[in-house]
């Protein structure tokens, strides 16, 4: 069973953001008809693109009060922090969970819970190592504020990393979203932070491995 799950993950169809890279790989492969070494380069590049942009199906827990991880990866930070000021969520610190995505992780971002996207704000920045806490403040990022049915707010932030140079966000302000729904991707190594609603504590710890759209990060109070 474990082997079947691993195989399903590796051979998942690619995210649409990877299609043009796959086309480039195919073009290089065709040039290999003239220069054979290019054929090998094209095959390696195509295989890497299919692996990096893989987009497996995920199955949220199905509980209305469960908040799930917005990304695959390793938890590198669990600490109180003020949400990005551009979202207008106020100056009070709240629990932030930082997830580092290595180049080997699935990079598709997913919504942590049902709600409505109230604000999306992009900010230019640096490209320091995304596993470091200063990346949350200094790096290029795209932040989303999501309002829950009870009026509380949370934030999800896509953060570019040392290698990543492109943040893709398919969500729009006003979108009504569902737990586990895809909303974007960050190319080639990155970080995703989630700022929990005020008064909610995380159920995860540093060093844990997250499965985006499935791992429960926190539970809303009844």
Question: So which residues are the catalytic ones?
Answer: 190
List strand residue ranges (DSSP E) for the chain, in order: 66-68, 73-81, 94-101, 108-110, 115-123, 141-147, 153-160, 167-169, 176-177, 182-186, 190-195, 209-210, 216-219
| DSSP, res 181 | -
| DSSP, res 126 | B
- Chain centroid to CA 145: 15
SS3 207: coil
- Chain centroid to CA 115: 17
How deeply is 2 buried, as exposed, middle or buried, from its count of CB atoms within 10 A (0-12, 13-18, 19+)? exposed
Residue pair 121/92 in contact by the 8 Å Cβ criterion: no
Query: Which pair of tokens denotes residue 118?
Result: 């109230």
Query: Which pair of tokens denotes residue 7?
Result: 């195989």
Residue pair 30/45 in contact by the 8 Å Cβ criterion: no
């Amino acid at each position: 069973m474990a082997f079947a799950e691993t195989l399903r993950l590796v051979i998942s169809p690619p995210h649409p953001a990877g299609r043009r890279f796959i086309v480039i790989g195919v073009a290089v492969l065709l040039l290999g008809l003239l220069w054979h070494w290019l054929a090998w380069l094209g095959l390696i590049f195509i295989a890497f693109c299919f692996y990096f942009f893989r987009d497996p199906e995920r199955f949220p827990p199905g509980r209305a009060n469960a908040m799930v991880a917005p990304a695959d990866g390793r938890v590198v930070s669990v600490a109180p922090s003020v949400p990005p000021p551009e979202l207008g969520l106020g100056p009070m610190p709240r629990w932030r969970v930082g997830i580092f995505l290595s180049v080997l992780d699935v990079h598709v971002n997913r919504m942590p819970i049902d709600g409505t996207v109230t604000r999306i704000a992009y900010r230019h920045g640096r490209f320091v190592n995304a596993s470091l806490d200063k990346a949350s403040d200094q790096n290029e990022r795209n932040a989303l504020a999501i309002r829950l049915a009870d009026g509380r707010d949370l934030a999800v932030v896509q953060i570019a990393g040392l290698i990543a140079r492109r943040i893709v966000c398919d969500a729009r302000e006003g979108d009504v979203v569902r737990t586990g729904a895809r909303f974007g991707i960050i190319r080639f190594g990155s970080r995703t932070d989630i700022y929990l609603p005020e008064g909610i504590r995380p159920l995860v710890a540093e060093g844990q491995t997250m499965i985006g759209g499935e791992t429960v990060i926190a539970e809303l109070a009844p």
